[in-house]
Amino acid sequence: MRVLIVNASEKTGGAAIAALRLKEALTNNGVKAKMLVRRKSDKNLSVVELPQSWRLKYNFLWERFRIWAGNGFSREHLFDIDTAMCGTNITALPEYREADVIHLHWVNQGFLSLRNISAILQSGKPVVWTLHDMWPFTGICHYAHDCERFKTGCHDCMLLQKPAKHDLSYRVFQAKDRILQNSGVAFVACSKWLAEEAESSYLLRGKKVADIPNPIDIQLFRPQPKDKMRNECRLPLDKQLILFSAYRTTLPIKGLDYLVDACRQYAEAHPESRDKLAIVAVGKDAQTLAERFPYPVYPMGYVEDEKRMASLYAACDAFVIPSLQDNLPNTIVEAMASGLPCIGFRVGGIPEMISHRATGYLAEPRNAEDLKKGLEWVLCECNYAEVSKAARSYAVANYSEHNVAMKYIAIYNRLCDDHEK
């Protein structure tokens, strides 16, 4: 069986990392898998890129420009929404033609347009679409937050400067509806939460959405001697280290303000911690965070190398993810596999991953005081060795590459059997 995994990027962002890992997992379980991206970043022969031309950059920039102009020339929410007006037709590529199954992942920011997606759905090949956020079943947003218009029909979008009955969200929603009607796409979500949201949407009405988590290399992400890893990462040996990681740390949806507030409260309640605690920040803009925390901050920038990231997890004592809405974050899986207790808000797919007071702490959403209690529980109260062991055991049992690959292979086989009938 030949499967073509389609994702905008190879390594940038959580969806890219998940898609690349799935390709490797499928390959290790007998599937001839390739990955198609806009531009590849290394020499992996099973990853192919679009034919390079000026038009690829044009598609990205023109998409952003239309959103900027259509939103009253405001930069606010510029990357929170996508319209899929621009993209590249991939159906004529040799990798597409030779594939038995087309597996879509995250295809935004000028990678595939709605017209391109329509061409894929009409090409006659079985299609799987893994949902990494809500965009495939909303009008234009990647996360709907408190809005539920995607359940009846998007309009008056709160992310636009001038919401209206027939605004941009309405027009894109209607275009998606025309494309997805009567399509035979097999939709998969990375969490039960996202699967339930998708099934409740108008665009995917009547469709069953499977939930399959993202895979992880449990041999790479594993507990390792902390002192050795700290020396390797040039981190202090005499402090408790809290890890905060996000592709772009300052995005409001990542909840940085709540983590800063929780740390300030913790420092006030535990003044001795000012000399014993430090923050390790991973992601773009991490170097800007030093002035905001009451503790030393070690900014690592955006870490693309997985071995380097595995060392950082193993060097730290706890992982905090204050996201205000999220699907099934790779970072939690990686941290748990590395033996780290995890602290996060009870939102999205996060409660499916963190078992409260067993593998970590689930705080009430947008509650910095409760997030501070999570820090106290992990750093001061829990049996750390038991929690660390439980976190690792849960990750191994639920997110191994083999288990995830076999679930997808079952879907591929079913689609191919139905296609041949």
DSSP state of 215: P
Parallel, antiparallel, or unpaired: how do β-strands 360-363 and 186-189 relate? unpaired
Q: What percent of the chain has pLDDT over 70?
A: 99
User: pTM (2 decimals)?
Assistant: 0.83
Output the six-digit token pair for 136.
């495939």
Q: Looking at the predicted structure, is the pLDDT value of residue 421 above 70? A: no
Largest CA distance in the chain: 70
Q: Residue 393 has what pLDDT?
A: 95
Q: How far is C-alpha 358 from the geometric centre of its chain's CA atoms? A: 24
Q: Looking at the predicted structure, is the pLDDT value of residue 74 above 80? A: no
Q: What percent of the chain has pLDDT over 90?
A: 76
Burial group, residue 137, by CB count within 10 angstroms (0-12, 13-18, 19+): buried
Tell me the mean pLDDT in the region 362-372: 97
Other Cβ atoms closer than 10 A to 113: 20
The CA distances from residue 389 to 8, 118, 176, 263, 341, in Å, are: 36, 47, 45, 26, 9
Q: Looking at the predicted structure, is the pLDDT value of residue 189 above 80? A: yes
> What is the residue-averaged pLDDT of the chain?
92
Q: Residue 157 has what pLDDT?
A: 93
Strand partners, 343: 320, 361
Q: Residue 64 has what pLDDT?
A: 79
Q: Residue 204 has what pLDDT?
A: 96
Q: Closest Cα partner for 279 from 288, 289, 265, 271?
A: 289
Amino acid identity at 352: E
1 vs 325, residue with greater confidence: 1
What SS3 class is residue 213? Answer: coil
- 310-363 residue pLDDT tens: 999 999 999 999 999 888 888 999 999 999 999 999 998 899 999 999 999 999
Model confidence band, residue 369 (pLDDT cutoffs 50, 70, 90): very high
Tell me the mean pLDDT in the region 232-258: 94
Q: Looking at the predicted structure, is the pLDDT value of residue 259 above 90? A: yes
Model confidence band, residue 78 (pLDDT cutoffs 50, 70, 90): low
Tell me the mean pLDDT in the region 243-268: 94
What dotted CATH number matches 226-399?
A: 3.40.50.2000
Tell me the mean pLDDT in the region 105-114: 93
Tell me the mean pLDDT in the region 24-30: 95
Range(s) of the chain covered by CATH 3.40.50.2000: 2-215+401-420, 226-399
Q: Are 401 and 25 in contact (CB under 8 A)?
A: yes
Q: Are 32 and 3 in contact (CB under 8 A)?
A: yes
- 380-402 residue pLDDT tens: 999 999 999 999 999 999 998 99
- 140-184 residue pLDDT tens: 999 998 899 999 999 999 888 888 999 989 999 999 999 998 888
55-59, 326-330, 404-408: the lowest-pLDDT one: 55-59
What dotted CATH number matches 2-215+401-420?
A: 3.40.50.2000
